[in-house]
Amino acid sequence: MNNTEIPNNKPLLSVKNLEKHFVTKKNFFGHPKEYAYSLNGISFDINKGETLGLVGESGCGKTTAGRTIMGIYKPTAGEVYLHGERLDLSKGPEKRIQMIFQDPYACLNPRMTVGEIIGEPLEINHVYDDNKAKLQRVYELLELVGLSREQANRFPHEFSGGQRQRIGIARALSVNPDIIICDEPISALDVSIQAQVVNLMRRLQKELGLTYLFIAHDLAMVKYISDRVAVMYMGAIMELADAEELYRNPLHPYTKSLLAAIPVPDPDIRQDISSIKGEIGTGDMTGCPFAPRCNKASDKCFKEMPAIKNVEGHQIACHSI
């Protein structure tokens, strides 16, 4: 019922060489002097109905990737295509791409009722002229995420963390987006609530044919929810493969150390990526960003950024493979 049909057989979303550099220091004349190289040319496709997991350590650029794809941040370079059609991200956020945020406490306006919060994207995008029809849609969305229509007049502080994330999901769904970017949607929740929210997201995906980009630290949860997984390191994708395959047979040195850092492969236990040995390099280096920490690094690795290639069905950026 929800999503528009794909008019061609192109991937639903295509990200090509997307870059985002933030100016972090300006000189006396107000010209940029220093940058944070948060996204250094990432590329991937997402097909309709699938979940692509995006994992990597804190600060590697996951949120920047999500926000640049949906037009919250203006890209420094690169393109985003939806159904094969290039998006003009200079115009600001794209309605067909919605986001679920990490912190349900911070992202809901405390002065708005839940009904107003869920209905806001409908209002901004002028989806309904008729208030009655809009309210009906809000009720429908509340029930879809396991809340009741009577709760529309309540305020966010009256809800638990899990319920607030359900409100965030209803809000993201309100405008029938083609894809939802989920930025660590469960990491701020109690462990006991995390599975409920993930299971709700999976049910909605099946029922509505939703497509997700699922950003997370938690490798076990990403494996559970994703069809394919992309591993990011310092603004670049190191490896992308089918979820099962990636966890069973990681090929890239960084993916290997990331998976070796998981103590127990149990989805009930929340696992953060623990420390990997070695210093993290700076973002504007010319070679492989993982070189300062990689035990397979050669001279070439410090001089030349490896291009993405296809190995055993994995997309990989590494000189040694």
Residues engaged in binding ligand ATP (CB under 6 A):
22, 24, 36, 38, 56, 58-64, 217
Q: Which is nearer to ligand ATP, 72 or 308 (CB)?
A: 72
Sheet strand arrangement including 32-46: 32-46, 13-26, 77-82, 85-86
Shortest distance in whole angstroms from residue 181 CB to Mg ion: 11
Q: Which listed option, Mg ion, ligand ATP, ligand SF4, none, makes contact with residue 288 (CB within 5 to 8 Å by class)?
A: ligand SF4
**Side-chain half-sphere of 96: how many Cα atoms within 13 Å?**
17
Shortest distance in whole angstroms from residue 239 CB to ligand SF4: 9
Q: Which listed option, ligand ATP, ligand SF4, Mg ion, none, makes contact with residue 115 (CB within 5 to 8 Å by class)?
A: none
Which residues make up the interface to ligand SF4 (CB under 6 A)? 253-254, 288, 290-291, 294, 296-297, 301, 306, 318-320
Q: Which residue has the tokens 């349900």?
A: 104
Q: Which listed option, ligand SF4, Mg ion, ligand ATP, none, makes contact with residue 60 (CB within 5 to 8 Å by class)?
A: ligand ATP
C-alpha to C-alpha distance for 163 and 155, rounded to whole angstroms: 12
Angle at 227 between CA 224 and CA 228, to 5 degrees: 110
The answer to whether 142 and 129 have CB atoms below 8 angstroms apart is: no
Q: Which is nearer to ligand SF4, 10 or 256 (CB)?
A: 256
Q: Which is nearer to Mg ion, 99 or 114 (CB)?
A: 99
The answer to whether 166 and 151 have CB atoms below 8 angstroms apart is: no
CB atoms within 10 A of CB 276: 17
Q: Which is nearer to ligand ATP, 59 or 161 (CB)?
A: 59
Q: Which is nearer to ligand SF4, 168 or 253 (CB)?
A: 253
Which residues make up the interface to Mg ion (CB under 5 A)? 62-63
Shortest distance in whole angstroms from residue 81 CB to ligand ATP: 22
Shortest distance in whole angstroms from residue 296 CB to ligand SF4: 4
Percent helix, strand, coil in the chain, to 5, is 30, 25, 45
The answer to whether 16 and 81 have CB atoms below 8 angstroms apart is: yes
